Amino acid sequence: MPAVSLFGLVGNSLSIYILHHKEVKLKRDFVEVLCSLATFDNLLLVSTFFLFSLPTLSAGYDNNIFPYTVPYLYPTCNTFMTCSIYMTVGVAVNRYLDISDSCRQVRRIKSGYIQAAIIFFMSAIVNIPRWFEFDYESALETVNVTEISQTSGEEMVFEVNRSRIVATPTALRQNDQYIRDYTLISATVLIVLLPMMIMMVSSILIYRTMEANASISVFSDAQEQARRRRNRSITLMLFGIIFLFLLCHVGEVFISFYELINVIYGERSAFPAWARMTVTINHLLVVMNSSLNFVIYCKVRFEIKSNSVITKWMELAKCVCNNQGSL
């Protein structure tokens, strides 16, 4: 997870820098939406590092700092994950609104940063209950201490009780009705299923709109081919985003349904080994989702840009050859 997070942090940061470059020919609101998505992804990667990775890498952090941060890192991480998911939805929706003739006259918020602020505000509201799920308290634990006798030189083991701070779930978090209604049903629908449906519908509408506009052309043959190539690349980008989203969240949906069935039938207990492993893999997949979104965008932009660059280089080479021949 740290390696994937570092890769994503560097890639997202470079994407923000490149998207603001004057040679990037994208609409301003679309650029702002992409930059907001990259920003939320970076914030999610940082929060997941402190919540999931650092406790396993540093025993000192795990014992002395981590328990104090859990009640705050957990809701923060979930808030940024919700922001990242709905900003991904915003990419698909903004693309459809831009190419659809029937939606161009619809009044909407043009600024991508204002859209991001609204998404952040709504995500914070949705995750308010998360702030009351964990707390920290002092607990006694028994540890074995080994000492060497100064007289006999033998090793002696003593059991010693010591106090330490641990993160504990609150009564709200342990309530079966809360887990069923909010954690499993509401959160799964709002954070996974609803965004997935919106992205799929938007992509289908984009594809149909592009097919309908394919026969209508006011450009030259070269311009029309470049336009179709660009639209095809952007459509593939959206399908790539949806596929990546499904791949990285299908395990989360499966675990939610598994736990929901246990709660409904009153058999809720500790997760078996395979379920705990699935949860761990889900954490890695969420990090991968935030780290690989920019790869899809960069690939599409590289294809579009490289095609135009190759064409220009061919024209330049032909011109140079002709000039040399005349000399």
User: Does the pLDDT at position 124 exceed 90?
Assistant: yes
Co-location of 13 and 140 in the same domain: no
Pair 160, 246 in one domain: no
Q: In this structure, is residue 285 part of a structural domain?
A: yes
- The pLDDT, as a whole number, for residue 3 is 92
pLDDT > 70: percent of the chain: 73
Compute the distance between CA of residue 76 and CA of residue 83 in angstroms, rounded to an integer. 11
User: DSSP 3-state assignment of 215?
Assistant: coil
Determine how many CB atoms are found less than 10 A away from the CB of residue 52: 19
- CATH number assigned to the domain comprising residue 302: 1.20.1070.10
Domain boundary among 117, 151, 169: 169
**% residues pLDDT > 90 (the chain):** 21
Do residue 161 and residue 191 come from a single domain?
Answer: no
The dihedral sign for the CA sequence 41, 43, 48, 49: positive
Q: Is the pLDDT of residue 85 over 70?
A: yes
What one-letter code names the amino acid at 114?
A: I
Q: Give domain status of residue 327, yes or no.
A: no
Q: Are residues 205 and 283 in the same domain?
A: yes
- Give the per-residue pLDDT at 308: 44
Q: CA Rg, the chain, in Å?
A: 26
Band of the pLDDT at 309, cuts 50, 70, 90? very low
Within this chain, do residues 239 and 91 fall inside the same structural domain, yes or no? yes
Which residue type is seen at 280? T
39, part of any domain: yes
The total of other beta-carbon atoms located within 10 Å of residue 188's CB is 19
Residue 181 lies in a domain: yes
Q: Both 269 and 153 in a single domain?
A: no
Residues facing 51 on adjacent strands: none
Q: Are residues 34 and 105 in the same domain?
A: yes
Instruction: Flag whether 189 is in a domain.
Output: yes
Judgement on whether residues 251 and 197 belong to the same structural domain of the protein = yes
Q: Which among 169, 191, 213 is the end of a domain? A: 169
| Mean pLDDT over each residue of the chain, to the nearest integer | 78
Mean pLDDT of 49-71: 91
Across the range 94-112, mean pLDDT stands at 72
* Domain that residue 19 falls in: 2-133+170-322
Identify whether 251 is part of a domain. Answer: yes
**Element of type H or E holding 10:** helix 2-19
> Is residue 148, in this structure, part of any structural domain at all?
yes
Per residue in 223-252, pLDDT tens?
666 666 666 666 677 677 777 877 887 777
SS3 state at 98: helix
> For the segment 252-287, what is each residue's pLDDT rounded down to a tens digit?
777 877 777 777 776 666 778 888 888 888 888 888
78 and 200 both lie in a single domain: yes
**Both 30 and 148 in a single domain?**
no
Rounded Cα gap, residues 2 and 271, in angstroms = 25
Average pLDDT score over residue span 47-75: 91
Q: What is the pLDDT of residue 122?
A: 94
Q: Are residues 149 and 277 in the same domain?
A: no
Whether residues 59 and 153 fall in one domain: no
Number of domains in the chain: 2
Among 117, 144, 169, the domain boundary falls at 169
pTM of the model: 0.78
pLDDT confidence bin for 326, thresholds 50/70/90: very low
For residue 271, being part of any structural domain is answered with: yes
Over the stretch 139-184, which tens digit does the pLDDT of each residue have? 776 667 677 766 666 776 767 666 778 888 899 888 888 888 888 7
